[in-house]
Structure 1
Amino acid sequence: MPPRRLLAVAAALALCGGPVEARTAVPEAAAPAAPAGTSTAGVSSCPLGAFHCPPRPESFALCRPNALLEFYDPTLPHDAALRETSDTVVDAAHVDSSDQAVYRLSGDVRIERADQLLRGDRIDYNNTTTDYDARGNVRYQEAGQLLSADRLRGNTQANRGVAENVRYQLLQSRGNGTAARGELLDAQRSSYNLVSYSTCDVGHHLWEVRARRLEIDKATGVGKAHGATMRFADVPFLYLPYFTFPVDDRRKSGFLYPTFGSSNRSGAMFAIPYYLNLAPNYDATLEPRIYTQRGTLLAGEFRYLLPGTRGQLNFEYLPNDHGDNRSDTQPTNGTDRWLLKYGDITHLWGPWSFNTSINRTSDRSYLRDFGNDLYTSSIGTLASNAYVLGHGNWWNASFGADSYQNVDPYLPDTVVQYKRWPRATLGLDVPLTHWLNFGARTEAVAFRKDDVIEGNRLDVYPYLAADFRGAAWFVRPKLAYRYTAYQLDANYANYGFQGPLTGTQASPFDDRTPSRALPIASLDTGLIFERPTSLFGTSYTQTLEPRLYYLYVPYRDQDDLPLFDTRRMSFDYWQLFSPNQFSGADRQMNANNLTAALTTRLLDDEGVERLSASIGQIHYFSPQRVQLPDGATTTAAPSDWTRSDYVAELGVQLNDRWRLTSAYQWSPNSRQTDLGTLGLQRRIGTEGLVNFSYRYRRNFLEQYDASAIYPISERWRLLGRWVYSVRDRRTVEALAGVEYDSCCVAVRVVGRHYVIASGPITERGRTNNALMFELVFKGLGAFNGQTEDVLRRGILGYQ
């Protein structure tokens, strides 16, 4: 008897791996049962303080342990590679081989080889024709799946087979279901009648896909379903008379899950995307959307990957907007509206590449009206750029342009920063010896903007930097020279710092080509002391790190220089060691300063920093004379302070359960607190956490921010966030939601109440409300998946 061929028949009768293949590889279904009282639903937690947490992996840990078809044999090997070297063992109560061509096995037939096991009441096999017929409680098991049928018959040589009353289970992906009839047409094609599929527990399908007929072609990687319905809690909610789907990792054109939403600006929205698999290296997605208050919008995405090039183009177009927004500052009713986003990275040659990012809209209200999430609508400026970039071991360079578009409907275009049209940079960092480096930062920019002063700027910043260090000390002297020159446009005399002058006001500009040149010298020194210590019974290494930083920059009068891209930076701990308090090159502060700072750290036995505390202050030996202008023609008075704010920072994370951060600034000049922040994060098990923060900046804001993810049980989590402004005496944002997780379905419902942050005074007090719903079918994806991005941005540490 040829048992190896008979086992090949049994493998073929698995009918191409089941009707649908789920896109996951979590083998919990075949895992042993968990001990009583333990939870297997936990996942690795995001590190405390992380702003971007990875999504939680799809887990089936809440499914019933060993929820398998009843004939599963856990003692079989799980390695299919053992088949070629393993013997085949045949066991049956009766064997009839009176006909030399036909073998008849009966009575609890069992045929086993490695991970394969075929069982049945009776199996007949014709060695001449390769016909086979298995009848009565037929069961087949291998490493990847289980299958049972009332009867299996077919032909091995022709790769044909028919199974009746089929039950199947895919062990690696949890997919399982039934079919009234399964037919293997040849080695690559199979067909099923009255078939079902789900990733839920066998016999307990909370969701299920049913199809009148299903065809699978493994050669093309395409499945075809006729008369398909998707059911939730045995209630049909989606019907498709015909659709195709991929049965392997190859991409396949077809419809994706529909999405829906609602907003007070555009009404209810419904969209159903269609994916186009155009070629192995490029594809597209078309997404028609219907807005009840706006009309029909067509969105699209095109992606490509070529040798040395990859990119993506997104567009949205809505003709003849019929929304009623005539009261807006820029009405759009009756106009065509569009959005364009394009990004590309292309390798040119050697170390050079070309990067571009283009983002444009038809009007300033587009993102507010059609934003895909609640945060997109709050973007105020869209940036576009295109650059040729190059880099080497000791150099980097770029040449390109930056442009900006105002997309805030309540703010004038004058608030948008200058276009840098074009801009070129060159950076050098050349080691001369092991302790001495020569470097330079060079930038040439042409600034363009309507109705204000325009011009070109060259900023050259060469330096020599030395680094002397030992195990417990360092000395870093640095000598630099900064030269900045301008070439202003011919109309320079008509403009002041803030815009056109009128009347008899005098212009601060008396030179079309102003410049500034000055040396910059600094000396950064520090010591590092260490000692062993203990805290709460745990041993640590404590460091004490005093640091002195001296900075000298002579004063240069810069009142005749325009302000193109320069702002005063927020004062914080790292500003204690910065050579300039201004961003951009239009202002270089004068300095004769000495910074004194002290830091202490606690390091555990593995070198992980568990506590860091720092305090520092700048002592000014001369007044800070370089200031930004108060108005169109006047510059703020020099600062005659002799000391800066005391700046303190604290970070504590003694274990992986909680984390504390704090920053504080107190001014000895005004004897007031200028800034105070406090942040606390506490993890609750592996599924929950609590965040609390307090933010204060004098004369600007004072807010409390609390958020939480609280697990009620393995299946239920409560979500919430509350932001309160003390200055406004009102709630800025409130968010509440609930998550339910089960074996094969997850549900999120989130409500959000928030205040409009920008706009005219009459608009700022208005509030908006949003309700979001998401239903996740594990193994198939999310239906209307919109809530996760909102929760990630709103709750620190959300997964």
Structure 2
Amino acid sequence: MMHKLPPRRLLAIAAALALIGGQADASSGQSTPATSPGQADQACPLGSFHCAPRPYNYAMCRPNALLDFYDPSLGKDVSLRETSLTKVDAQHVDSSNQSVYHLSGDVKLQRADQQLQADSVDYNNVSTDYDARGNVRYQEAGQLLASSHMRGNTDASRGIADDVRYQMLDARGNGVAKQGHMLDAQHSRYVMATYSTCDVGHHLWEFRAKSITINKETGVGVARDATMRLGNVPFLYLPYFSFPTDDRRKSGFLYPTIGNTSRSGFEVSAPYYLNLAPNYDATLDPRIYSDRGAMLAGEFRYLVPGSNGQINVEYVPNDHGENDGLADIKGDSRYLVNLSDRTQLWKGWQFVGSYNHASDSSYLYDYGDALSHAAIYTLASNAAVMGGGKWWHASFGGTIYQNVNPFVTDRVLPYDQLPYATFGMNVPLSRWLEFGMDTSAVAFRKTGFVEGEREDLYPYLAADFGTSAWFVRPKVAYRYTAYQLDSGYDKYGYGGLLGSGGVSPFTQQSPSRALPIVSVDSGLVFDRNASLFGNSYTQTLEPRIYYLYVPYRNQNNLPVFDTSLMSFDYWQLFSPNQFSGADRQMDANNVTAALTTRLLDDSGAERLSASIGQIRYLSPQRVLGTDWVRSAYVAQLDVQLSDRWRLASSYQWSPNTRLTDMAAVELQRRLGTDGVFNFSYRYRRGLLEQYSASAVYPLSERWRLVGSWTYSVKDRETVEALAGVEYDSCCVSLRLVDRNYVNQAYYGFGPAPTGGNINQRDNAIMFEVVFKGLGSSGGQIDPLLRRDILGYQ
């Protein structure tokens, strides 16, 4: 029989059960939302350097892995609860006592997304006591809960449930509890409780705790006498631990890291997170290195009104590693400090600073260049005040450097800039005309080298005429660079102190250089309809002419503080200077001719782009030291006619030497939905020739192989080789990666190192396990694979 009752009272039973069920997932710490099948199949676009992390994929979970009373036809809109009537279905209803309802025989109470089923239900409409007995089942939009017996009081938010089974629907998570106690609306306690994100009845892993208490007010749960199990085998015992039950932060241990490197041996890390205040926190990370001893690392983050920053410290009180001939560090204390801060000073102005310092030049070589850390040559520290407005920007500060390459001296360091100041502006004068300026003033300091101050002024006037079919962009600039060298300037050469019998090129203490820079950039854009492989495209043809004039100035008496010659590429065809800094300005009387064609699909996406260009020198390049009539031919080709593969290439051939100056080819192929293959070849005459290949190869839905390989033709050896395997299941992911590499960033300098613990080949291995919905044992593998495998997710 069907009855309609007031919506508030009887569904209070369901509300009480929801509170118990809603807390049952607390043993998970923090749950992870389930991933839809379509979300797991989203692939990173080909050619992307940064791919979004793959979301947890629960597609391999059993499609019917729900508690058996799940009703898919039940509504999902929780907002309808307050306005919906309660429908009651039962074989027998006794309401002879007008304050007590006795329901029995396949009792079903339904309102909106809520449904309660039981063999019998007694409810006191006055005291709000309730008693549901026999095969109690509750379902709502976010969860399922089953119990053999449930009783309590809805007004007092008290209740006891026996033999609880629960399952979360919005987030993966399920488990059982011998008994659940709702002490009040904010506090719950569970006896003999479990939690896992695996399929119901098929737990590869789970937590088991003798008791779990939940405080919703503070967002903290406490488990006592708990074990974590793989299958039925316990592998981690915690007599007491606390965890967050919502998004609020909570102090506690993070997951450990286990690995091995050839420089420091086996590593075990057990970080502990400290939630000190809402606006600052810290992490203590004690580590043990089998070959070097104990380390204490720490991180402190702060966020105060107008300021935020971070401090990282690593400290080794007694390094017992072998003396490798680089530095006598055995028995010494060693450390690394990294500090960064950003503070708002006033409107439009802020302070930005960083301090990075290591105890010795070998520190990062021993501790930093492991599995996923690229070698670092120098540590830079900087402090600056920066500001800007609608049409201007400015900065004032200083930068210093520390050498952290143990195989070279401090001669390789860049100049310290103490201090520096910059100012730039870009003011539109009309719709087609603008005035701009780039200026800098720097004091350069470096022991054993010529020192001094440099000012560089670069005002310009630029115009932009054109439509979508053509453009003409003339630009007139004036560059003035002046120096004030310190005393003793005549005792130095470009490379530092003069050798015996050397002659200094610095003949003036205050040299300067002034010259105009004139350029005109122009081009046309033609387009037509085209067809290729049965697809329609829009093809463009874009001729471009660029003229550049810069008069010659003798710059031999100017020091070289921060300037170097840049690698020649396609964009250098249209650049006013091939030097990266202000100490050198090339002369030019050049005309660049270039041609580009593109294929655009119906959506406007570029499917093919091909360009070729060359500079015609109307006068010799005296600063660059060449008298060639023309530059190398520079060509580029990018093709992606489908979402499955992409080809990118560039090529430079010099008609002057009749040799190839540079060549590069990159091929990327999609393998299924989550696999990728990359191949590249890079050549630069006299510098390098390398082949590289990398892949993510899916063997099955659960297994993937990952690997990368780089081979140097010049050195006739493998520069780096990486191999690994990934396993993914419904609730567990595993990764094992081994990396063997030449520490070329260090060994490429100076004489070959000597010593018992030095090898040009280093090795690192790391294992990572991810219990979906809980976290992982480390995060070092993912950055490495992202760096070495283009398109890795």
Q: Does residue 780 of structure 1 match 2:767?
A: no
Q: Relative to 1, partners in 2 of residues 1:570 and 1:581: Cα closer, same or farther, differing over 3 Å?
A: same
Q: Which residue of 2 aligns with 1:662?
A: 649
Q: Which residue of 2 aligns with 1:18?
A: 23
Q: Does residue 570 of structure 1 match 2:557?
A: no
Q: Give the letter aligned to residue 500 of structure 1.
A: L
Using the TM superposition, give the Cα deviation of residue 70 of structure 1 relative to its aligned residue in structure 2, in angstroms: 0.3
Q: Which residue of 1 aligns with 2:434?
A: 437
User: Does the 8 A contact of 1:19 with 1:214 survive in 2?
Assistant: no
Q: Relative to 1, partners in 2 of residues 1:46 and 1:349: Cα closer, same or farther, differing over 3 Å?
A: same
CA distance in 2, matches of 1:492, 1:265: 43
CA distance in 1, matches of 2:496, 2:786: 41
Q: Give the letter aligned to residue 530 of structure 2.
A: T
Q: Does residue 422 of structure 1 match 2:429?
A: no
Task: Provide Cα deviations, 1:503-549, integer angstroms capped at 9, x if missing partner.
Answer: 33221111111111111111111111111111111111111111111
CA distance in 1, matches of 2:512, 2:761: 49
Q: Please, which moves more after superposition, 448-457 or 342-351?
A: 342-351
Give the alignment partner of residue 792 of structure 1, picking from 775, 786, 789. Answer: 786
Using the TM superposition, give the Cα deviation of residue 129 of structure 1 relative to its aligned residue in structure 2, in angstroms: 2.8
Q: Which residue of 1 aligns with 2:331?
A: 334
Q: Give the letter aligned to residue 752 of structure 2.
A: I
Using the TM superposition, give the Cα deviation of residue 261 of structure 1 relative to its aligned residue in structure 2, in angstroms: 1.5
Q: Give the letter aligned to residue 23 of structure 2.
A: G
Local SS of the residue matching 2:24: coil
Give the alignment partner of residue 123 of structure 1, picking from 118, 121, 124. Answer: 121
Instruction: List 4+ stretches of structure 1 deviating above 6 A.
Output: none
Q: Which residue of 1 aligns with 2:520?
A: 523
Task: Provide Cα deviations, 1:151-172, integer angstroms capped at 9, x if missing partner.
Answer: 1111222211111111001111
CA distance in 1, matches of 2:477, 2:369: 48
CA distance in 1, matches of 2:395, 2:77: 54
Give the alignment partner of residue 551 of structure 2, picking from 551, 554, 559. Answer: 554
Q: Which residue of 1 aligns with 2:66?
A: 68
Q: Give the letter aligned to residue 593 of structure 2.
A: A
Give the alignment partner of residue 7 of structure 1, picking from 8, 11, 14. Answer: 11
Give the alignment partner of residue 732 of structure 2, picking from 721, 745, 750. Answer: 745
Q: Does residue 376 of structure 1 match 2:373?
A: yes
Q: Give the letter aligned to residue 298 of structure 1.
A: L
Q: Which residue of 2 aligns with 1:34?
A: none
User: Does the 8 A contact of 1:164 with 1:181 survive in 2?
Assistant: yes
CA distance in 2, matches of 1:314, 1:504: 49
Q: Which residue of 2 aligns with 1:614?
A: 611
Using the TM superposition, give the Cα deviation of residue 410 of structure 1 relative to its aligned residue in structure 2, in angstroms: 1.1
After superposition, where does 1:681-720 map in structure 2 within 5 Å? 681-720=668-707
Using the TM superposition, give the Cα deviation of residue 762 of structure 1 relative to its aligned residue in structure 2, in angstroms: 5.1
After superposition, where does 1:69-468 map in structure 2 within 5 Å? 69-324=67-322, 326-371=323-368, 373-376=370-373, 378-468=375-465
CA distance in 2, matches of 1:726, 1:713: 35
User: Does the 8 A contact of 1:775 with 1:785 survive in 2?
Assistant: no
TM value normalised by structure 1: 0.95
Q: Which residue of 1 aligns with 2:505?
A: 508
Give the alignment partner of residue 771 of structure 1, picking from 761, 765, 774. Answer: 765
Local SS of the residue matching 1:417: coil
CA distance in 2, matches of 1:280, 1:581: 50
User: Does the 8 A contact of 2:7 with 2:85 survive in 1?
Assistant: no
Using the TM superposition, give the Cα deviation of residue 471 of structure 1 relative to its aligned residue in structure 2, in angstroms: 2.9
Q: Which residue of 1 aligns with 2:711?
A: 724
User: Does the 8 A contact of 1:266 with 1:291 survive in 2?
Assistant: yes
Q: Give the letter aligned to residue 769 of structure 1.
A: N
Q: Please, which moves more after superposition, 569-578 or 313-322?
A: 313-322
User: Does the 8 A contact of 2:257 with 2:270 survive in 1?
Assistant: yes
User: Does the 8 A contact of 2:23 with 2:188 survive in 1?
Assistant: no
TM value normalised by structure 2: 0.96
Q: Relative to 1, partners in 2 of residues 1:373 and 1:502: Cα closer, same or farther, differing over 3 Å?
A: closer
Q: Which residue of 2 aligns with 1:579?
A: 576
Using the TM superposition, give the Cα deviation of residue 591 of structure 1 relative to its aligned residue in structure 2, in angstroms: 0.8
Q: Give the letter aligned to residue 181 of structure 2.
A: E
Task: Provide Cα deviations, 1:568-598, integer angstroms capped at 9, x if missing partner.
Answer: 0000000011111111000011111111111
User: Does the 8 A contact of 1:520 with 1:553 survive in 2?
Assistant: yes
User: Does the 8 A contact of 1:207 with 1:233 survive in 2?
Assistant: yes
Using the TM superposition, give the Cα deviation of residue 437 of structure 1 relative to its aligned residue in structure 2, in angstroms: 1.1
Q: Give the letter aligned to residue 7 of structure 1.
A: L
Task: Provide Cα deviations, 1:8-34, integer angstroms capped at 9, x if missing partner.
Answer: 122212315133345455356xx8xxx
Q: Give the letter aligned to residue 425 of structure 1.
A: T
CA distance in 2, matches of 1:43, 1:313: 39
CA distance in 1, matches of 2:402, 2:309: 22
Give the alignment partner of residue 634 of structure 2, picking from 637, 647, 650. Answer: 647
Local SS of the residue matching 1:610: strand
Local SS of the residue matching 2:641: coil
Task: Provide Cα deviations, 1:269-291, integer angstroms capped at 9, x if missing partner.
Answer: 11111111111111111111112
Local SS of the residue matching 1:493: helix
User: Does the 8 A contact of 2:423 with 2:438 survive in 1?
Assistant: yes
Using the TM superposition, give the Cα deviation of residue 795 of structure 1 relative to its aligned residue in structure 2, in angstroms: 0.4
CA distance in 2, matches of 1:620, 1:330: 52
Using the TM superposition, give the Cα deviation of residue 605 of structure 1 relative to its aligned residue in structure 2, in angstroms: 1.3
Q: Give the letter aligned to residue 720 of structure 1.
A: G
Q: Which residue of 2 aligns with 1:35?
A: none
Local SS of the residue matching 2:51: coil
CA RMSD of aligned residues (A): 1.6
Q: Give the letter aligned to residue 22 of structure 2.
A: G
Local SS of the residue matching 2:22: coil
* Identity rate, percent: 64
Q: Please, which moves more after superposition, 172-181 or 726-735?
A: 726-735
- Unaligned runs of 5+ residues in structure 1 are 32-38, 628-637
- State the number of aligned residues: 779
User: Does the 8 A contact of 1:43 with 1:56 survive in 2?
Assistant: no
CA distance in 2, matches of 1:234, 1:716: 24
User: Does the 8 A contact of 1:19 with 1:216 survive in 2?
Assistant: no
Using the TM superposition, give the Cα deviation of residue 173 of structure 1 relative to its aligned residue in structure 2, in angstroms: 0.7
Structure of higher RCO (CA pairs closer than 8 Å, 6+ residues apart): 2
Q: Give the letter aligned to residue 33 of structure 2.
A: V
User: Does the 8 A contact of 1:367 with 1:376 survive in 2?
Assistant: no
After superposition, where does 1:39-58 map in structure 2 within 5 Å? 42-58=40-56
Using the TM superposition, give the Cα deviation of residue 260 of structure 1 relative to its aligned residue in structure 2, in angstroms: 1.5
Using the TM superposition, give the Cα deviation of residue 41 of structure 1 relative to its aligned residue in structure 2, in angstroms: 7.8
Q: Which residue of 2 aligns with 1:761?
A: 752
- Unaligned runs of 5+ residues in structure 2 are none
Q: Give the letter aligned to residue 654 of structure 2.
A: S
CA distance in 1, matches of 2:21, 2:725: 40
User: Does the 8 A contact of 1:93 with 1:107 survive in 2?
Assistant: yes
CA distance in 2, matches of 1:471, 1:53: 33
Task: Provide Cα deviations, 1:286-331, integer angstroms capped at 9, x if missing partner.
Answer: 111112222221111111122222211111111122222x233223
Using the TM superposition, give the Cα deviation of residue 43 of structure 1 relative to its aligned residue in structure 2, in angstroms: 2.5
User: Does the 8 A contact of 2:319 with 2:333 survive in 1?
Assistant: yes
Local SS of the residue matching 2:10: helix
User: Does the 8 A contact of 2:21 with 2:166 survive in 1?
Assistant: no
Local SS of the residue matching 2:493: coil
Give the alignment partner of residue 495 of structure 1, picking from 484, 492, 497. Answer: 492
User: Does the 8 A contact of 1:261 with 1:268 survive in 2?
Assistant: yes
Q: Give the letter aligned to residue 663 of structure 2.
A: G
Q: Give the letter aligned to residue 700 of structure 1.
A: L
